[in-house]
C-alpha cells in the first residue's frame, strides 16, 4: 500500500515529532476558532502549519503573501518562519474572523511581521508593485478566485520562490466526474492551469486536502 488512513492519533504523533509544536497561543486560537462552528473546518491542521513554517525557513523568506487568512493560524505559522525583518501581507475580507487572528499574532509576538488588508484580495494583489520580489505565497481562499490570484502573483514571485495553493484535491472530489459544483469545477480548471504553466515547477501533495507546491523558475 502506498497510503493509509491518517487518523487524528497518527497526525498528533507526527506533529509531536516536529520542531514547531503548538504552544498555548496556538491552542487558544484553535479553541476560539472552534467556537465559530462548522466554518472552523477552514482552519489548517497542525501538521500543515509545521510545513508552512518549514517552507518559509527553507526559502529564506523575507516577503510573503497570504490570500485567505480566516482566524490567522496559517499566517502565524508563515510569520514564524520568516527571516529577521521579514513581513507577511495577509489578504482577507472578514474583519470579524481576522480580528481573532490579530489578537493571536499579538500574543505570539508576531504582530510587527504581519500586515492585514481587509479588501477583496484581487484589488490588493493588483495594487502590489510589479517587481518579482515575493519569496512565498499561500493561497487558501475562495476557490473560483484561485486562477485570478495565481495570475497576479506568479509574475511577482522571485525565481526560486514558492507558491502554495491549498485544497486542490477537494476531499477527493476533484477526480469524481459526477461532482460539478462551482468550487470543484474551479479547482479542476486551476489545477490544469498550474500544470501547464511553464513558469513554474510543480508538485501536488496528496496530504491534507491536497497542497500544490510550485517553484518559480
Q: What share of the chain is helix, strand, coil (3-state, %, to 5)?
A: 45, 20, 30
CA 125, CA 156: separation in Å to the nearest integer? 10
CA 99, CA 113: separation in Å to the nearest integer? 16
Q: How confident is the model at residue 7 (pLDDT cuts 50, 70, 90)?
A: very high
Q: Residue 137's beta-bridge partner residues?
A: 65, 163
Q: What are phi and psi of 4, to 5 degrees?
A: -150, 170
What percentage of residues in the chain have a pLDDT greater than 90? 97
CATH superfamily of the domain spanning 8-216: Vaccinia Virus protein VP39 (3.40.50.150)
Which pLDDT does position 86 carry in this prediction?
98
Average pLDDT value over all residues in the chain: 97
Q: Is the dihedral of CA 119, 122, 123, 127 positive or negative?
A: positive
Q: How confident is the model at residue 22 (pLDDT cuts 50, 70, 90)?
A: very high
Could you read off the pLDDT of 148-199 as tens digits, one per residue?
999 999 999 999 999 999 999 999 999 999 999 999 999 999 999 999 999 9
Residue 1 clears pLDDT 80, i.e. is over it: no
Q: Is the dihedral of CA 193, 202, 82, 206 positive or negative?
A: positive
CA 71, CA 98: separation in Å to the nearest integer? 5
Q: What is the pTM assigned to this prediction?
A: 0.96
Which pLDDT does position 165 carry in this prediction?
98
Which pLDDT does position 10 carry in this prediction?
95
Could you read off the pLDDT of 92-150 as tens digits, one per residue?
999 999 999 999 999 999 999 999 999 999 999 999 999 999 999 999 999 999 999 99
Could you read off the pLDDT of 25-66 as tens digits, one per residue?
999 999 999 999 999 999 999 999 999 999 999 999 999 999
Residue 2 clears pLDDT 90, i.e. is over it: no
Which pLDDT does position 189 carry in this prediction?
98
Amino acid at each position: 500500500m502506498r497510503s493509509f488512513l491518517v487518523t487524528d492519533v497518527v497526525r498528533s504523533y507526527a506533529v509531536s515529532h516536529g520542531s514547531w509544536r503548538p504552544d498555548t497561543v496556538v491552542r487558544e486560537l484553535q479553541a476560539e476558532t472552534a467556537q465559530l462552528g462548522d466554518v472552523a473546518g477552514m482552519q489548517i491542521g497542525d501538521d500543515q502549519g509545521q510545513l508552512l513554517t518549514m517552507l518559509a525557513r527553507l526559502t529564506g523568506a523575507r516577503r510573503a503573501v497570504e490570500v485567505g487568512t480566516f482566524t490567522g493560524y496559517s499566517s502565524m505559522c508563515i510569520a514564524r518562519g520568516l527571516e529577521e525583518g521579514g513581513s507577511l501581507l495577509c489578504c482577507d475580507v472578514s474583519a470579524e474572523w481576522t480580528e481573532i487572528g490579530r489578537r493571536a499574532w499579538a500574543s505570539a509576538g508576531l504582530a510587527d511581521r504581519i500586515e492585514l488588508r481587509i479588501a477583496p484580495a484581487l484589488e490588493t494583489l493588483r495594487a502590489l508593485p510589479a517587481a518579482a520580489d515575493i519569496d512565498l505565497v499561500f493561497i487558501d481562499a475562495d476557490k473560483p478566485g484561485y486562477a485570478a490570484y495565481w495570475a497576479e502573483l506568479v509574475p511577482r514571485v522571485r525565481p526560486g520562490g514558492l507558491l502554495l495553493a491549498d485544497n486542490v484535491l477537494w476531499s477527493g472530489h476533484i477526480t469524481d466526474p459526477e461532482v460539478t459544483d462551482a468550487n470543484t469545477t474551479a479547482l479542476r480548471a486551476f489545477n490544469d492551469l498550474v500544470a501547464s504553466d511553464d513558469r513554474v515547477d510543480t508538485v501536488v501533495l496528496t496530504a491534507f486536502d491536497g497542497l500544490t507546491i510550485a517553484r518559480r523558475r
